[in-house]
Amino acid sequence: MTEKPMVAGAPLTIEYLEKYPNFISICASWTFGQWGCQSNGSYERTRGEFEAATKSSMPLTLVAIENALPVGMVTLAARDFDGKPHLSPWLKSLFVHPFHRKKGIATLLIERLEHEALRLGFTSLYLITEDARLLYEKSGWRAIDHVQTSYGEAALMEKALLPLS
């Protein structure tokens, strides 16, 4: 499924990462740079997670593409926070390149990932955020707990997914 909204005048598509293996290293760099290097992660392990991405099961990574370049991404994963191993699946690694922020791309990625989770049979999603709670609340997510991460206090959020009509 390809979406083609106009974002700042240029067509944007949201595609499965597995269709664009040349973007794996970019997604891994974004994720490792944003989160992994601060939590004793490794670039190699991060890259391996993206190499395993598929459209038929988890992990599933979506990439926002504008002018043939990746501008953002998001992943559906079985796990993301060790403190809540009974919760699954998770929205994780939502990232929009700084040059492309404030254009609605993050919201489009969230909505598309929710659709993909429904397609795979899930009825709810979870995420952890230290600093983007308002973004998710605008998309219908609700905070259900506060947790401590290696980056500080964070909101544990949940969204019940409504079946597609």
Is 79 in a helix, a strand, or coil?
Answer: coil
**pLDDT tens figures, 82-105:** 888 899 999 999 999 999 999 999
Query: Which stretch of 86-90, 141-145, 149-153 has the lowest confidence by average pLDDT?
Result: 149-153
pLDDT-based confidence at residue 42 (cuts at 50, 70, 90) = confident
Distance of CA 42 to the CA centre of its chain: 19
Contact between 123 and 161 under an 8 Å Cβ cutoff? The reply is: yes
Assigned domain for 165 exists: no
CATH number at residue 152: 3.40.630.30
pLDDT-based confidence at residue 1 (cuts at 50, 70, 90) = very low
Record the pTM.
Answer: 0.88
Q: How far apart are CA 143 and CA 141, in angstroms?
A: 7
Assigned domain for 1 exists: no
Q: How far apart are CA 4 and CA 12, in angstroms?
A: 5
Assigned domain for 16 exists: yes
Domain that holds residue 33: 6-160
Assigned domain for 97 exists: yes
What total number of domains does the chain contain?
1
Assigned domain for 151 exists: yes
